[in-house]
Chains A and B, each alone.
Chain A
Amino acid sequence: MRRGPSWFNLVSITLGFAFLYLPIVLLVVWSFNASKLVTVWGGFSTKWYAALLQDDQLLSAAWVTIRVGLLSATIATVVGTLAAIALVRGGRFRGRTFFSGMVYAPMVMPEVIMGLALLLLFVAVQFDRGFWTVMLAHTTFALSYVAVVVHSRLVTFDRQLEEAAQDLGCTPSRAFLQVTLPNIFPAVLAGWMLAFTLSLDDLVIASFTSGPGATTLPMRIYSQVRLGVTPEINAVCTLLIAVVATGIIIYSLVGKWRASGALAKR
């Protein structure tokens, strides 16, 4: 019989999770504090959230971030999925190892190097820095994450299903769209979400590749944060955490619902 967790296990789990979550919880609590001081509780208040709506710079930064995120995540998902298909299906084509190394390199590369390299590229081809350069930069690093997620799903996909569809008269492209794509869709969706959150989150690469008029939300937060802790920033951060958490919870619920649906069909 397998032993359950001992008291030592329980203590280390509790302390570990307290370490991971306490700072985030405190941040959320502070954002509702009427007092400006973090050590004084001045009563519950939502006034910092109201103040956010008056902050035009912050709102426009949020809008830029959302547009960059939606566009770059979508392009990265398409290109990343294609890259994953090439890696799984392409067999041992020439330069495959090099190609897979190149696809995965951005995941382990320090952000500062990625940002600098992309900027130098944009300068070399004389691409004016702004919204589009940030969008392209985010697409570049996000597509490796999409490729990894889709790759792991494609490896387990039974290719005979696709061959069967072709035997029954499907064109290869139709077989892909009607058989393969629906099958790997959860992974594609997960890849898109990962790409979107990464883009929402990125400060370093955006700072290097951005230009006038394209300040993203993390850049805006960062320039404020350097001046110290303010309740308004706590409120923005809380909102961002709420958005991301809701997205993940919906995603995992949908996953559960799909899984139970698939079971019920059998």
Chain B
Amino acid sequence: MYKRLGEDPFYLQAYLSSLKFAATGTVLALLVGYPMAYGMARCRPGVRSILLMLVILPFWTSFLIRVYAWVGILKPEGLLNAFLKLIGLGPMTLLYTPAAVQIGLVYSYLPFMVLPLYAALERQDHTLLEAAADLGSPPWKSFWQVTFPLSIPGVVAGCLLCFIPMVGEFVIPDLLGGPGSLMIGRSIWMEFFANRDWPFASAVAIVLLITLVLPIVLYQRQQARALEERA
């Protein structure tokens, strides 16, 4: 089984493209999520708890429903294209393309990125920034030299929480992606339900699991360290 897996370029490609989708998705989620978390941490405590609740709420709403909502937006006669037409930009094909999968990934896992980032940023001692300012550091420099380095544990936790499930994602590539967006979770599903080749599907799953063991172990270490710090 494993030999067949090695010989089949289809699966190698599926693994590589899953890793690429997940890596790009994680970076994009970080780029969207960091300013959000940073802004939230700067708000008044009352506003903060409301915003926090608003970040958690989508996590409780059905994953399937949230992905499905994008179908109506991205489809050729959907809302986004109607909007693009209105402002004079020609219609774009988005649904069933890799771009749609990427949007879906970032959208679905954004709360997983924002929460640990927020937790790391909210705890920060603001007098440090004042000290930096008193010593003549411009705000952007204080950010890179003080705020960002202190938030790295949050960045690591957020990235792992996004990356690990993104690699094995099934629903998003299936609903939003076309034949061009190959992902390994979907390949396991197909092998299992369409081709009914159970041993082979298991072999594909084991290889996926092995690829994910390292990030999972990293995540657990990170969690253990965070717990010790708090204690």
Contact = CB atoms under 8 A, between A and B. Distances in A.
Given A5-B39, A225-B71, A240 B62 contact: yes
B16 to A, nearest CB: 17
A234 B78 CA distance: 14
Contacts of B216: 105, 108-109
B19 to A, nearest CB: 13
Nearest to A3: B42
A165 interface: no
A30 interface: yes
B150 interface: no
Given A19-B110, A108-B216, A252-B53, A39 B205 contact: no
Interface in A5-21: 5-6, 8-10, 12-13, 16-17, 19-21
A27 B65 contact: yes
Q: Which of A23, A203, A221, A240 has the most CB of B within 10 A?
A: A23
B155 to A, nearest CB: 16
B168 A110 contact: yes
B57 A248 contact: yes
Given A13-B40, A113-B209, A23 B164 contact: no
Interface string A85-112: 0000000000000000100110011111
Contacts of A201: 62-64
B77 A116 contact: no
Nearest to A221: B64
A110 B82 contact: no
Interface string A212-253: 000000100110011011000110010011001100100010
B167 A110 contact: yes
B55 interface: yes
B144 to A, nearest CB: 15
B69 A26 contact: yes
A215 to B, nearest CB: 14
A12 B73 contact: no
Nearest to A234: B72
Interface in B68-115: 68-73, 75, 77-79, 82, 107, 110-111, 114
Interface in B203-231: 205, 208-209, 212, 216, 219-220
Nearest to A12: B35
Nearest to B106: A19
A174 to B, nearest CB: 30
Q: Which of B35, B44, B107, B110 has the most CB of A within 10 A?
A: B35
Contact of A110 (B62, B111, B126, B185): B185
Given A30-B72, A112-B185, A245-B57, A13 B36 contact: yes
Give the contact-size bracket for chain A.
35 or more
B186 to A, nearest CB: 8
A108 B65 contact: no
A204 B171 contact: yes
Contact of A240 (B42, B58, B65, B79): B65
A37 interface: yes
Q: Which of A8, A19, A113 has the most CB of B within 10 A?
A: A113
A112 B44 contact: no
A12 B33 CA distance: 9
Contacts of A112: 168, 170, 185, 188-189, 205, 208
25 contacts: A8-B39, A9-B42, A12-B36, A12-B38, A13-B36, A16-B33, A20-B55, A23-B73, A24-B58, A26-B79, A27-B65, A38-B72, A108-B165, A110-B168, A112-B189, A112-B205, A113-B188, A113-B205, A117-B205, A200-B62, A208-B192, A218-B62, A225-B68, A228-B71, A240-B61
Interface of B: 32-33, 35-36, 38-40, 42-44, 51, 53-55, 57-58, 60-66, 68-73, 75, 77-79, 82, 107, 110-111, 114, 126, 164-165, 167-171, 174-175, 185, 188-189, 192-193, 198, 201-202, 205, 208-209, 212, 216, 219-220
Given A20-B107, A38-B75, A241-B65, 19 more contacts: A4-B44, A6-B42, A12-B39, A13-B39, A19-B107, A24-B65, A24-B69, A39-B78, A101-B220, A108-B164, A110-B169, A110-B208, A120-B198, A200-B62, A201-B63, A203-B63, A229-B75, A241-B62, A244-B62
